[in-house]
Structure 1
């Protein structure tokens, strides 16, 4: 949460448009740290640089763990609900697009039961 507040403060101070997302926070933090380090004296900069290097390594490890979980690790029932919402938002073209993403998506959206469910959910949303 503090990173977001700092990002808003930075953008306000520089009179920039708020065009960042939560995914940009790691890059903004690194930029902020590099900006601060560039203004430090040599001895203090060396100590801070090594400490920040370790912190960034740990952050990278944490991000890799999150990325390794992936959407394909979700149970099929959960994945079906997500894919159903995608099809309802994007229409019939989403069925083809999802089939091209990976074989697991293809096996889930190519079933008659999924297509019927998507069609009935769409009909339900149109009639209400």
Structure 2
């Protein structure tokens, strides 16, 4: 009897792990999804997690085991995107204001357009400045 219960529990854990892996892969393969780290004011950087913008709603998938998603109505702050050193790596970071707090999100440089989502103008850093018009003297 105990062996039957043990096999049932092992089977249940394997099914749950397979379902979780499939859900994580499905979220990660959606268009516009990027890996990021998040830091709340005064705290440490989080683990790597998956996130994407859905309109003006930021959807973040958290947790290595359970399917936990956060949906935040966030706005990229006007200071724009900047480079940050996060745990010995240089990443692209942006500050996002939500209803209750200000978050800082960081990702690799290749994903900076996905990081800012609908606020694409914030990702336009490192662009050359426009040429200055010369005055024509007569």
Establish whether TM, by shorter chain, passes 0.5: no
Higher strand share: 2
| Higher relative contact order (CA closer than 8 Å, sequence separation 6+) | 2
Higher helix share: 1
